[in-house]
Amino acid sequence: MENSKPKTIAFQGERYAFSEIAAKQFFTEEITCVPCKTFDIVFEAVENGSAEFGIIPLENSLTGSIHRNYDLLLEHELMVVGEVFLRVEQHLIANPGVSLSDIKTVYSHPQALEQCRKFLTSLPGVEPVASYDTAGSVKMIHDQKMHDSAAIASSLAARIYEMQIIKQEIEDIPENFTRFHVLSKNDKKFAQPDKTSIVFSMKNIPGALFKALSVFALRDIDLLKIESRPLRGKPWAYIFYLDFSGNMDEERSKNAIRHLQEMSNFLKILGSYPSGYSKESNKE
């Protein structure tokens, strides 16, 4: 029997954060989003069943892979069942009637402040102040009717709180995409999975990485991501993040993974899922 209640999705941040926008992009039906203070809590919520799914950022086109979330994927027994690419657009948002020259303080998440560093330093006498969330900063300047402050957040946050966008797209580098993974306790197929993510480390053998990739090349399996991450204190030990085309129901994928296991000393399949696509932007 289908559950008639909306699905619950745990995410890190406050309401209307980019993770929630990513969740809404992924799930086309109505969903209930559960804000969590930390990524650890997102994983725990899905694990203990208080949320059906979780959504976490995995990498950003400017700042790189979020190793912490890869670590959590290794620590927890959750599966990657979906992928979302979201274009991150940051706007300067204030109460209606406020103009740029009124602003003394700009609140946002540290990452967003970083992404708009050039813009912020171009405003003389304006102090950037870190908060735990982009959308939460909009809520604060709205609730406290702060007329000498602005927030950096998405256009959704501006709309929800009926605030004014003073300046659009203030990021230093406009090509800013974040890739999210949708997590579940059990395997869920939203569409035909065509992409698989694995994490592995290799035995200390000559040309280890080349041999690892050969198990895919020999079976004409396309690689979509490869990243080595050195393990501190072990000069020759690396963890590899690898995404390939195909799913774990396919014979050639199973053969490749079995082959890879022969030469790896650790291997975890994070999940097979339909590959995400990027919408033009996060504009609603």
Segment interacting with its own copies, rule: CB under 8 A, options 96-104, 108-116, 195-203, 249-257: 108-116
Using CB under 8 A, which of 25, 111, 154, 201 touches its own copies?
111
Q: Which of 109, 105, 80, 111 is nearest to 196 (CA)?
A: 80
Q: Does the protein bind its own copies through residue 67 (CB under 8 A)?
A: yes
Q: Where in 170-209 is the site for its own copies (CB under 8 A)?
A: 173, 175, 177, 206-207, 209
Using CB under 8 A, which of 30, 143, 162, 220 touches its own copies?
220
Minimum CB separation from its own copies for residue 188, in Å?
25
Q: Which is nearer to its own copies, 61 or 255 (CB)?
A: 61
User: 109, 166 in Cβ contact below 8 A?
Assistant: no
Minimum CB separation from its own copies for residue 32, in Å?
24
Phi, psi angles (nearest 5°) of residue 34: -110, 105
Q: Which is nearer to its own copies, 120 or 185 (CB)?
A: 120
Q: Is the dihedral of CA 161, 166, 172, 174 positive or negative?
A: positive
Segment interacting with its own copies, rule: CB under 8 A, options 25-33, 122-130, 160-168, 189-197: 122-130
Segment interacting with its own copies, rule: CB under 8 A, options 16-24, 181-189, 197-205, 229-237: 229-237
Count interface residues toward its own copies (CB under 8 A).
44
Minimum CB separation from its own copies for residue 228, in Å?
5
Catalytic residues: 178, 180
Give the residues lining the site for its own copies (CB under 8 A).
Answer: 37-38, 59, 61-68, 110-111, 113-114, 117-118, 121, 128-130, 173, 175, 177, 206-207, 209-210, 213-214, 216-217, 220, 222-230, 232, 278
